[in-house]
């Protein structure tokens, strides 16, 4: 059995979708807490609410993209599972790292690398879906 046949049941893809959407739910819940508390600092640049709101919006924009691409690649079944899991895993990891880097104020390079990873994995997964779709 080569690397291409590992985790053929899609466990990694489903776990990554779980991570992405769990983060989605938790971030939305935190935003609701801010709203319930009367949205302190709304409209002020660099207030905790403004910064968190921006991150929450970005995650809400990207999480479904990774989940859909992961599911589509899994059910298309043409990409070797190892590469598929690596792509979906690095997408999920990049979203977690990007949010953490901004929230915890980790070095700028971590945010940059995770953003680039997210773009790269999205473009690669999309291109592979098209490639295997037409071939």
State the residues that interact with another protein by CB under 8 A.
61-62, 64-65, 68-69, 71-72, 75-76, 115, 119, 122-123, 125-134
- Residue among 3 and 60 whose Cβ is closer to another protein: 60
Query: Residue 31 or 125: which CB sits closer to another protein?
Result: 125
CA 95 to chain centre: 4
Q: How far is the CB of 12 from another protein (least distance, A)?
A: 19
Sign of the alpha-carbon torsion through 23, 24, 30, 34:
positive
Q: Spell out the residues 6+ positions from residue 28 whose beta carbon is closer than 8 angstroms to its own.
A: 56, 60
User: Minimal distance in Å, beta carbon 89 to another protein?
Assistant: 17
SS (H, E, C) 2-18: CHHHCCCCCHHHHHHHH
Least Cβ distance, residue 15 to another protein (angstroms): 19
């Amino acid at each position: 059995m080569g690397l291409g046949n590992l985790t053929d049941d899609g466990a990694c893809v489903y776990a990554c979708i779980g991570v992405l959407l769990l983060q989605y739910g938790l971030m939305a819940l935190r935003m609701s807490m801010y709203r319930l508390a009367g949205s302190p600092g709304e409209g002020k640049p660099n207030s905790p609410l403004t910064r968190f709101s921006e991150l929450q919006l970005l995650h809400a924009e990207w999480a479904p993209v990774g989940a859909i691409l992961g599911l589509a690649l899994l059910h298309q079944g043409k990409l070797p599972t190892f590469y598929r899991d690596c792509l979906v895993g690095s997408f999920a990891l990049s979203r977690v790292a990007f949010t953490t880097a901004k929230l915890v104020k980790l070095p700028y390079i971590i945010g940059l690398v995770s953003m680039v990873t997210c773009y790269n994995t999205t473009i690669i997964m999309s291109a592979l879906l098209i490639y295997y779709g037409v071939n």
